[in-house]
Amino acid sequence: MQKNIILPEIADNVTSALIGSILVSVGDQVSFDQSIVEVETDKATSVIPSPYAGRVVEILVERGDELPIGGAIAVIAIETSVGEIEEEQAQEVAEVEPQIEDKPIDVDVVKRAPVEASAPVAVPSSEVPKGNKVLVPASPSVRRLARELGVAIELVEGTGPRQRISTDDVKKYAKSLIQTGAPQSGPMVQHQPLPDFGAWGEVRTEAFNRIREITAQSMTQSWQTIPQVTHFDQADITDFEAFRKKDALKAKSPADKLTVTAVLVKVIALALQRFEKFNASIDMVNKQVVYKSYYHVGIAVDTPHGLLVPVVKDADQKNIRTIGAEMNELALKAREKKITPAEMSGGNFTISNLGGLGGTNFTPIVYAPQVAILGVSRARIKPVLVDGEWQPRLIMPLSLSYDHRLIDGAESARFLRWICEALENPLKLLL
């Protein structure tokens, strides 16, 4: 039997997507959930998996095509022995196009000349997104349920294949909001209407983009559900900065330079190994703490379209130069809107370094379900009394916001002091 693989609903209000790399060829044998094609929307790049196992009979799109949701991507001759999960999956996808036929349906494809600047990112199959925070994999009925319950589907953790969100996931998330007394995001949050600012002068309105919408929701949720405290300290980075500057002279390209943030990522990963609570999440529903044995560090990146937080995975196992190169690549991808949801998921702790821009101190907001975030402000030369003598030293202000339900004040002071001492005396890291 032949089936069309159609473009499923990708996210709310997304009506079409641009076809990127096509990852299969006619005649290929594909397995259930194998990546078929990359697609790009104005929000992010995603990979569409096959809802069936079978042989590709025809590919109906080309790179650069704009395909409406529900449009056919390819025709597949499916195996009769599709498993239970495949059937379930196929049914979910079929909901997008109820009149799905056994032969190709006509596709309203808008042909576009390939434009390099907006070309979708080539994601090697080894890096195929598994998590999805911006473009969420969920069937229309699941989305409908989330809308009805007033749940922001982007915040729901999917437990299905490729983190697909099921009705149970949505119900569980909604239940947890009720049990923890968290404010429901999305439509159930009661916002007061604004006054008519036009009465006092000229105004201009601009609709939220998706990043702003998600940021607004997650910040509100974090602020309203996490009793957070910010603890301040400062590190004397005179010696570390002298080393960094000297090392920069040897760098073959700007990308090889050690950056402040890359060093911080490494120091944080090692600190998280020693202070396991800071690498944990608090589960109020089941009244337990989830300790993680991996050390993934998120970095707040300022982009023209809003704040994005790519994640350096397993930072404890990487050297600082590798972290720096990876971080530069992730920050570039984030700024060019080429970052994938998988590259932004799984973080245990976040660093927000505003030092390149200025400021003396700030209080970052914990990025739930993480329990702490480090704010870094601009290092400045300050007079410091060393062995009874005033010396000009380079001092970097650090602020640690933490979830006070899990972390006590003394623990935060010890954690941040350890970080300061590691920056002041890197030998400490070897001990």
221 token code pair: 């949720």
* Cα–Cα distance measured from residue 170 to residue 155, given in angstroms and rounded to the nearest whole number: 9
Of the candidate residues 8, 347, 355, 369, the single one contacting ligand CAO (CB under 6 A) = 355
Q: For residue 416, state whether it binds ligand CAO (rule: CB under 6 A).
A: no
Residue 299: CB minimum distance to ligand CAO, A: 5
Give the residue with the Cβ less far from ligand CAO, 185 or 350: 350
Q: For residue 419, state whether it binds ligand CAO (rule: CB under 6 A).
A: no
Active site (annotated) includes residue 191: no
Binding string, residues 314-353; x marks residues near ligand CAO by CB under 6 A:
-----------------x--------------------xx
Residues 6+ apart with CB under 8 A from 33: 49, 50, 89, 161, 162
Residue count of the chain: 431
3 token code pair: 């089936």
Neighbours of 304 (CB within 10 A): 7
Give the residue with the Cβ less far from ligand CAO, 299 or 407: 299
Of the candidate residues 5, 39, 123, 260, the single one contacting ligand CAO (CB under 6 A) = 260
Q: For residue 216, state whether it binds ligand CAO (rule: CB under 6 A).
A: no
Give the residue with the Cβ less far from ligand CAO, 59 or 258: 258
Of the candidate residues 301, 342, 419, 423, the single one contacting ligand CAO (CB under 6 A) = 301
Of the candidate residues 39, 376, 407, 419, the single one contacting ligand CAO (CB under 6 A) = 376
Tell the residue number behind the tokens 């809308």, with chain if given.
147
Of the candidate residues 16, 261, 370, 399, the single one contacting ligand CAO (CB under 6 A) = 261
Q: For residue 372, state whether it binds ligand CAO (rule: CB under 6 A).
A: no
Contact 58, 107 (CB under 8 A): no
Question: Which residue among the candidates 191, 231, 305, 404 is catalytic per the annotation?
Answer: 404
Give the residue with the Cβ less far from ligand CAO, 146 or 265: 265
324 token code pair: 């720096």
* Cα–Cα distance measured from residue 228 to residue 364, given in angstroms and rounded to the nearest whole number: 10
Q: For residue 60, state whether it binds ligand CAO (rule: CB under 6 A).
A: no
Candidate ranges 56-64, 116-124, 177-185, 258-266; the one touching ligand CAO (CB under 6 A) = 258-266
Give the residue with the Cβ less far from ligand CAO, 146 or 260: 260
Residue 102: CB minimum distance to ligand CAO, A: 50
* Cα–Cα distance measured from residue 227 to residue 399, given in angstroms and rounded to the nearest whole number: 16
Q: How far is CA 371 from CA 138, 278, 290, 297, 330, in A?
A: 28, 6, 11, 12, 23
- CA-based nearest residue to 220, from 188, 267, 262, 194: 188
Tell the residue number behind the tokens 């239940």, with chain if given.
175
Q: Which residue is nearest to ligand CAO (CB)?
A: 355
Residue 300: CB minimum distance to ligand CAO, A: 4
Binding string, residues 387-406; x marks residues near ligand CAO by CB under 6 A:
---------x----------
Of the candidate residues 90, 374, 379, 422, the single one contacting ligand CAO (CB under 6 A) = 379
Of the candidate residues 114, 356, 359, 392, the single one contacting ligand CAO (CB under 6 A) = 356
Give the residue with the Cβ less far from ligand CAO, 293 or 360: 360
**Catalytic residue annotation:** 404
Binding site for ligand CAO (CB under 6 A): 259-261, 299-302, 307, 331, 352-356, 364, 376, 378-379, 396
